[in-house]
Amino acid sequence: MKTKPSSFVSPDCLFCKIVAGTIPANRVYEDELCIGFPDINPQAPAHLLIIPKRHIASQARCTAEDAALLGHLMATATKVAQDYSLDGGFRVVVNTGDDGGQTVNHLHLHLLGGRHMKWPPG
Ligand code: 5GP
Ligand code: ZN
């Protein structure tokens, strides 16, 4: 199977524009594969988004070839949680597709913390 290059971007994608810097975001984390920045509409005292620099529309488009990148995003969420001193715990959410409540079609991890989370989510 042919894989997309690590620099792949989608021209009309909001988060690709944040990666490119044409839409501003406060990058609280950045490395060669991903960035982290605060959600514009926070749902918890700490609400960060961790996104790959490469455009992937959603988790539904991920395959075993993306396993290393997905693991890196999870490990990055842990690191950012530590940076934000979320010692009491935190939640990582990946909304996927219409039923999953996804509104931006570029894979992203929500990192939520700083308050007690309820279960099940709405
Ligand atoms: P989803 O609903 O797709 O799981 O999450 C998309 C998230 O992106 C939402 O929580 C929304 O508040 C956030 N968001 C949408 N537009 C922007 C933006 O321009 N900047 C930032 N920082 N977050 C955004
Ligand atoms: Zn994108």
Residue ranges of domains in the chain: 14-113
| Active-site residue, 108 included | yes
11: left (phi over 0), alpha (psi -120 to 50) or beta: alpha
At residue 49 the predicted structure's pLDDT band, cuts being 50, 70 and 90, is very high
Residues within 5 A (CB) of ion ligand 2: 10, 13, 15-16, 55, 106
Position 3 scores a pLDDT of: 54
Reduced to 3 states (helix: H, G, I; strand: E, B; else coil), residue 111 is strand
Position 6 scores a pLDDT of: 63
- 42: which 2 tokens? 């926070």
Residue located nearest, by CA, to atom 16 of ligand 1? 40
Greater confidence, 99 or 8?
99
At residue 122 the predicted structure's pLDDT band, cuts being 50, 70 and 90, is confident
How remote is the CA of residue 116 from the centroid of ligand 2, in Å? 31
Mean pLDDT computed over every residue of the chain:
95
How remote is the CA of residue 51 from the centroid of ligand 2, in Å? 9
Decide if pLDDT at 98 tops 80. Answer: yes
How remote is the CA of residue 38 from the centroid of ligand 1, in Å? 9
CATH homologous superfamily for the domain 14-113 = HIT-like (3.30.428.10)
Average the pLDDT over 35-49 and give the result: 98
Closest to 15 (Cα-Cα) out of 105, 109, 111: 105
Q: E-strand spans in the chain? A: 29-30, 34-38, 46-52, 90-93, 109-113
Which of 15, 17, 35, 49 best tests ligand 1's pocket when mutated (most atoms within 8 Å of CB)? 49
Question: What does the alpha-carbon distance between residue 27 and residue 107 come to, in Å, rounded to a whole number?
Answer: 17
